[in-house]
Amino acid sequence: MSINVKAIERDISFQKDQTKYAYVMTTTLYNTLKANKVIREAALRSGVNQGVMQACWDAAGEVIKAWATEGHNVPIPGLGSMRFSVRARSVENVNDVKTSLIKTRRVIFTPSQEVKDELANTSISITCYDRNGEIVKRVTSADEGDVEDGDNENQNDNENQGGNSGNSGSSVPTLTISKTGSGTSAVTVGGNAVNSGSQIAAGTEVALSVTPAAGQTPTATPNGSSVTLTESDGTYTGTFQMPDGNATLVINSGSTGGGGGVDQN
């Protein structure tokens, strides 16, 4: 088995009149498995009746949710542990403490050593595509297999500690998302939804999908620079690369007229 990665040559410049190409790597996500397929496979491997396995699966899920909402760090056998948390701004005056300081609620998963060992020992296969979509190179990984530890249990989840802006004691940039307009939009990384306040590593490709109201033209600007959006069947898509520092992405899903940075197909 191996982890399949695509290295795609993309324009990573945020400047309208400039281009800067680089190979951006993202993991290949085949699909999201359905729960009943996982249950059926687990039943086959364990010799347990599928109905019994389903009941155990459901019961474990209810227990995990109940204990996590009580503030526990709940072990997930064979995988690691999970807990709930929040990301919030800090204030100096106790009278300013209020729930509006909370930016996002979080699910924190910390993998077990066994899972980290499995990941470290899994090879990585990289396929390189040029800007025209042609395969130009294939690479088999020779990295050291370092694995992130996940969220530190003692990590402070507050932002702006000590009056200094930052990312909760981490160097990973934060993406703030502001949405306007009457249409709908989605922001994803590697096929997974991204919410405002999420931490995204610098250089990561962020994907956008915007469906404006009829007769409207959407725009998307990370840190004030326009993303080129391509239209297909009324939905506009585009990508940009997360910068080294924090970014603010403004999505307008309902501006009238033909805005700049939009390709019509």
Interacting residues of 105 by C-beta distance below 8 A, sequence separation 6+: 84, 85, 86
Does a structural domain hold residue 248?
yes
Does a structural domain hold residue 7?
no
How many distinct structural domains can be found in the chain? 1
Q: Distance between terminal CA atoms of the chain?
A: 38
Tokens of 221: 């600007």
Q: CA-CA distance, 252 to 23, in Å (whole number)?
A: 28
Give the range of the structural domain holding residue 209, as residue numbers without chain letter: 171-265
Does a structural domain hold residue 46?
no
Q: CA-CA distance, 81 to 62, in Å (whole number)?
A: 15
User: Which pLDDT score, from 0 to 100, does residue 250 have?
Assistant: 92
User: Which pLDDT score, from 0 to 100, does residue 170 have?
Assistant: 42
Does a structural domain hold residue 207?
yes
φ, ψ of residue 63 to 5 degrees: the values are -65, -45
Q: Environment class of residue 239 by beta-carbon count within 10 Å: exposed (0-12), middle (13-18) or buried (19+)?
A: buried
CA angle 259, 263, 265 (to 5 degrees): 130
Residue 41 DSSP code:
H
User: Which pLDDT score, from 0 to 100, does residue 255 have?
Assistant: 60
Q: CA-CA distance, 151 to 167, in Å (whole number)?
A: 13
User: In the beta sheet, which residues pair with residue 21?
Assistant: 11
Does a structural domain hold residue 211?
yes
pLDDT tens-place values along the chain, 265 residues long: 788 888 888 877 656 677 888 888 888 777 778 888 999 999 999 999 999 999 999 999 999 999 999 989 999 988 899 899 888 888 888 998 898 888 888 888 888 889 889 988 888 999 999 988 899 999 887 777 788 766 554 444 444 433 333 333 445 788 999 888 888 899 998 888 888 888 888 888 899 999 998 888 899 999 888 899 998 888 999 999 988 888 999 999 876 544 444 444 4
Q: CA-CA distance, 253 to 177, in Å (whole number)?
A: 13
Q: CA-CA distance, 53 to 39, in Å (whole number)?
A: 7
